[in-house]
Structure 1
Amino acid sequence: MERMPSIFNDVLSPVTPGPSSSNTCGPYRIARLARALLGETPRRITVRMARRGGYYDTFYSMHSHEAILAALLGQELLRCDLSTMCRQADEAGLSYDFQFVDDLPVRPSELAEMELSGDRRTIRLTGVSLGGGEIEITRLNGSDILLRGKRRETVCLGPEGARVVPEDTAAGPGQWLARLEPLFPFPQQEGAVPFRTAQEMFAYARDTGRPLWQVAFDYESALTGATEAELRAYARQVLDICCHARQQGVCPDNHFIGVTDARAARYKALREGRKLIDLGAADEACLDAMSIMEFSNAHGTIVCMPTGGASGIVPAAVYRIGERLGKSETEQENALLVAGLIGAFYYPTHYTGAIGCQAEIGVAVSMASAALCSMMTDDPDTIHCAASLGGQVLMGLLCNPIEGYVQVPCIVRNMAAVPTAVTCANAALAGMDHIVPLDDVVALMLAVGEKIRPCDEAGTYILKKEEA
């Protein structure tokens, strides 16, 4: 891989209100960088998007417009009420215009052109939400540039364009400097990592005799400079956020708009009344996955693993199956680290539905399969088998949300994915041969994604709810 992803910045990330990492958190991050680049209070925003591009069917249903306004109003994504953003923008005197046009390139990743003005300045930029909350600003005031929000950077803007400059640069006549702070938990550095492919990672684990969770620490520390204590503390925080989402999602007063209604509380009641088919620990985990996804649709705070559309799978597997296996909190944290490490090798997919739900649900199953397997053995070859089987089992899965909401079939896919991950882990423990190495599974997923991409290249097969 050309760029190595961070476990906590790119895979077990972002921490965001639901329902979507690429359509909620991504636009927020682009707009937050835009506000910092403008360097003054925004007064006007125009956003232009391709009529048949990635945002067309999901921009309003996944609350992209409200996330953009929240960033421009200077609000923290985790502390604001997205449903009030339009009203707050009106009250603050921030005018906004969201347009779908025919003169922009159609891309599977969500691309938007923004023009943002304050009282003294105007900036124009092109922003891309790649998937999983990752973003890029690729054009700024007529200049090619690459801003990703992953490190502290200084940008010099002026009539001649924009460029990244050293921190001690002085602004010239008609110019201004924008100081950009990282948007991610751990600022990334340019340190050398101990491996760059899954094959090298598993060889590293065998050669050093280190369990995969320790290998994950080695990798993430090299990328971010964070200590093992800092990374473990953050892993605990991630699991605590997921636990809160699981608990809140099953509350009877959890509601959301869309094409279906919340059903987790009813599912829980029926299960406790023995009126559902019993799947044991896997069924308990199914309920957790359902609860997290329904809480996400109510704009609750979730951790995308690796996306909002797949956020229920890994935490449900790690917490609920881990609990049934008698695993401690530390052992659950270790399993989460293994999941994140495996997910890092799927980074070339950008975890985007543009190449099918295989890159969201499918990747999460691979991550969860490896995490569950690691609870039973430290053998890297067995965990490799579980990860590969998990990636193969849903190969080719389409992204086909009804009406563009992350609800049907997304919620039930999260539920079904947990017992699927258990099955893959058990198959690996039983000695089943995965045949295809994990690196090749990722390459195949990318190739399949090119084959199943819709003809309009918007990235998803948006189905319509049948009228009653």
Structure 2
Amino acid sequence: MYQFNYGYELLELTKKFNKPISEIVMLAEQERTGEDLEVIFEKMKKNLQVMREAINKGLNEDIKSVSGLSGGDAKKLYARIVIGNTLSCETMAKAAASALAVTEVNASMGRIVAAPTAGSSGVIPGALITVARKFGKNEDDMTKALFTASGIGIIIAKNATLAGAEGGCQAEVGSASAMAAGALVELMGGTPEQCLTAAAFAIMNLLGLVCDPVAGLVEIPCEKRNALGALNAMICADFAIAGMDSVIPFDEVVETMYRVGKAIPSALRETAEGGLAKTPTAMRLKKEIFEKEKRGD
């Protein structure tokens, strides 16, 4: 009754039952698993708590990745925010710092929520938790928004891909940004149609983004792309709430992302055989990391 495969089907369900996307997704999960709605809701709330903990850890502790390639950048950016010295507005800078924080915790083998993947784990918490704090939204509001995000992610997974190895970084950070954009719209009282419009905008903006991790590790340039994905989600949510039309429907945008992903050369799909991963500096770093691992350092 509540199952959906496409965006248009999800919108039809919201109209039929006069419910927001988050509630349709929860009912679909109840229908699929047989679990009580309260149990389903509490599980998602635990995900939110893990997201919050990862942000706090990344912003306040001296994080260093296992490889040594990254760590501490979230804390550096947050320090500039504290003294009011960022070029972007405070909210945008906090979202970027929070997204970076989560990805740095991931690279240091800390606990994160893969939403939708570990490589894109900073986008949703960075955007959602920052916006929720600014507007005084509570845990239940944020948890509902996460269900909206998951509904968008389900559609992308069914009709395209969430894997950088299959579709490039557009499939990871792009999908996460779309999920975050839709979640923000519902959080701020937008309509289901506006949620999918925001998601469509978010993917459009990152269409064709390649996956070229330095040394094959989800650090450079992945972490900074997470920050970009969070900011992209926020402006795309603003676009939709303001009444802008994506023109190209969400489902068609998702299908386009899949086709573009298939057209991206394999060297630019998480193989570390192209893009930034093949620069002289990246090759040197890869060699240094390999030698360090051989020595057991």
TM-score range, shorter chain: 0.7 to 0.9
* Map of 2:21 onto structure 1: 212
Equivalent positions of 1:340-419 (< 5 A) are 340-348=150-158, 349-354=160-165, 355-419=167-231
Gaps of 5+ in 2: 286-297
Q: Which residue of 1 aligns with 2:289?
A: none
**CA distance in structure 1 between the aligned counterparts of 2:269 and 2:228, rounded to whole angstroms:** 28
Distance change in 2, residues 1:440/1:295 (3 Å) = same
Distance in 2 between the 1:284 and 1:456 partners? 30
Structure 2 CA distance for partners of 1:221 and 1:459, relative to 1, 3 Å: farther
- Cα drift, residue 459 of structure 1: 4.7
Secondary structure in 2 matching 1:450: helix
Match runs of 1:173-322 below 5 Å: 193-256=2-65, 257-322=67-132
The aligned length equals 277
Asked if 1 retains the 8 angstrom alpha-carbon contact of 2:210 and 2:269, the reply is no
Query: How many Å separate the matches in 2 of 1:293 and 1:370?
Result: 21
- 1 CA distance for matches of 2:73 and 2:235? 25
Q: 1:457 to 1:317 in 2, by over 3 A?
A: closer
Between the aligned partners of 2:232 and 2:269, the Cα distance in structure 1 is 29
Distance in 1 separating the partners of 2:278 and 2:71: 18
Query: RMSD between aligned alpha carbons?
Result: 1.9
Shift, 1:383, TM fit = 1.5
Asked whether the equivalents of residues 190 and 241 of structure 2 are also in contact (C-alpha less than 8 Å), the reply is: no
| Residue 234 (structure 2) pairs with residue 422 (structure 1) | yes
Change (3 A) 1:247 1:465: farther
- Alpha-carbon offset, residue 316 of structure 1: 1.5
Residue 445 of structure 1 pairs with residue 254 of structure 2: no
Q: CA deviation at 1:370?
A: 0.4
Matches within 5 A, 1:95-106: none
Where 2:214 maps in the other structure, the secondary structure is: coil
Paired residue for 2:292? none
Give the helix-richer structure, 1 or 2. 2
Given the two structures, how large is their TM-score scaled by the length of structure 2? Answer: 0.87
Hey, what's the Cα distance between the residues in 2 that align with 1:194 and 1:295?
Answer: 34
TM-score (norm 1): 0.56
Q: CA deviation at 1:285?
A: 1.2
> 5+ unaligned residues in a row in structure 1: which ranges?
1-191
Question: Can you list the C-alpha shifts for 1:94-115, whole angstroms capped at 9, x where unaligned?
Answer: xxxxxxxxxxxxxxxxxxxxxx
Name the CA shift for 1:408/1:202 in 2 (closer, same or farther; >3 Å).
same
Compute the displacement of 1:386 (Å).
0.9
Quick one: percent identity of the two aligned structures? 28
> Quick one: which amino acid aligns to residue 241 of structure 1?
V
2:112 is paired with a residue whose SS is strand
- Please tell me the residue identity of whatever aligns with 1:402: V
1:334/1:444 Cα in 2 relative to 1: closer, same or farther (>3 Å)? same
Instruction: Give the distance between the partners of 1:389 and 1:396, measured in 2 at CA.
Output: 14
Greater Cα radius of gyration, structure 1 or 2 = 1
Aligned counterparts of 2:80 and 2:51: Cα–Cα separation in 1: 23
Distance 1:366 1:274 in 2: 29
Superposed CA deviations along residues 154-178 of structure 1, whole A, max 9, x for unmatched, are xxxxxxxxxxxxxxxxxxxxxxxxx
Instruction: Note the C-alpha offset of 1:295.
Output: 0.8
How many Å separate the matches in 2 of 1:438 and 1:420? 16
Distance 1:295 1:254 in 2: 7
Contact 2:210 2:268 in 1 (8 A): no
In the TM superposition, structure 1's runs of 4+ consecutive aligned residues that sit over 6 Å from their partners are: none
User: Equivalent residue for 1:100?
Assistant: none
SS of the residue corresponding to residue 220 of structure 2 reads coil
Shift in Å, 1:329: 0.9
The one-letter code of the counterpart of 1:352 is: A
Quick one: distance in 1 between partners of 2:171 and 2:96? 20
| Inter-CA distance 225–457: structure 2 relative to 1 (3 Å threshold) | same
| Residue 267 (structure 1) shift | 1.9
Partners of 2:77 and 2:114 in 1: how far apart?
Answer: 23
Give the secondary-structure state (helix, strand or coil) at the position aligned to 2:4.
Answer: coil
Q: In the TM superposition, what is the alpha-carbon distance from 1:465 to its structure 2 partner?
A: 5.3
Distance 2:269 2:99 in 1: 30
- Contact kept in structure 1, 2:164 and 2:270, CA below 8 Å: no
Question: 1:464, CA displacement in angstroms?
Answer: 4.3
Structure 1 contact 193–223 (Cα < 8 Å) conserved: no
Partners of 2:216 and 2:270 within 8 A in 1: no
Kept in 2, the 8 Å contact 1:212–1:378? The answer is no
Q: 1: CA distance between counterparts of 2:85 and 2:189?
A: 35
Structure 2: distance between partners of 1:327 and 1:282? 17
Residue in structure 1 matching 2:137, options 327, 342, 358: 327
